Amino acid sequence: MIRTAVFGGSFNPVHYGHINLAKEILRQDLADEVWLMVSPRNPLKQQADLLDEQTRLRLARLALADVPGVFASDDEFSLPRPSYTWKTLDALRGKYPDRAFFLVIGGDNWQLFPRWARADYIIANYPIIVYPRPGYDLDEQSLPPSVRVLRSVPLFPYSSTEVRAALRSGADVSAMVPPEIEKAIKLEKLYGL
Ligand code: ATP
């Protein structure tokens, strides 16, 4: 079975936090591949400023073109909306029988996890790796056995919100997104530029 990490999100836009996190998962040999699962719409997020899913997917693919083992997937685009992770994981399992899927989420999302649809079902059926994120404390006392919090990994102080804010204010985004992403965003005048 190909160990496939599903790393879901809006990727609005993709940034070095996403990319380096995925690389670290591979570097630690926790997965054979990491799939950035671009979500058409997150049931827990506001819609303002959200680029359409095809554009977010295209930017993610551009950013990952030279990153072996990390791919951006559009598998959620053909599923009913809004996208619920338990449904996505079940659909992936049905569609790719040669792969063992598990979930990778950032520490902010683990804090929100009890609000996810069928959180207990996900925990019972899919291993979860939680990647720490600056500013989000993780309580490791009460973790279910299938949930693992990574420790001693590099932390990435970036968010898509900060990227969008920096773009709007004309600030330098080169530390947060790859040059080709910055170029594409400016060329296509995305995010109201
Ligand atoms: P936004 O700022 O728009 O809310 P975001 O930067 O949190 O976006 P998402 O696309 O929502 O990015 O995140 C996708 C996944 O990546 C989530 O599981 C999130 O927890 C995780 N993630 C994003 N940025 C980081 C980071 N800097 N460190 C660790 N995990 C991260």
Beta carbon of 12 within 6 Å of any ligand 1 atom: yes
Q: What are phi and psi of 139, to 5 degrees?
A: -90, 110
- Residue by residue, DSSP assigns 145-168 as TTEEE--S-------HHHHHHHHH
Choose the weakest-confidence range: 44-48, 106-110, 171-175.
44-48
What confidence category does residue 82 fall into, taking pLDDT thresholds of 50, 70 and 90? confident
Give the mean pLDDT of the chain: 94
**Residue 96, SS3?**
coil
Report the predicted TM-score, pTM, of the whole model to 2 decimal places.
Answer: 0.96
Atom 20 of ligand 1, residue of closest alpha carbon: 106
> Which of 167, 175, 179 is CA-nearest to residue 12?
167
pLDDT given for residue 44 in this prediction: 66
Task: Please list, in sequence order, all residues whose beta carbon lies within 8 angstroms of the beta carbon of residue 114, skipping any fewer than 6 positions away.
Answer: none
| Residue 3 alpha carbon to ligand 1 centre in Å | 22
Q: Give the sign of the dihedral formed by CA 159, CA 178, CA 164, CA 89.
A: negative
Mean pLDDT in residue range 76-98: 95
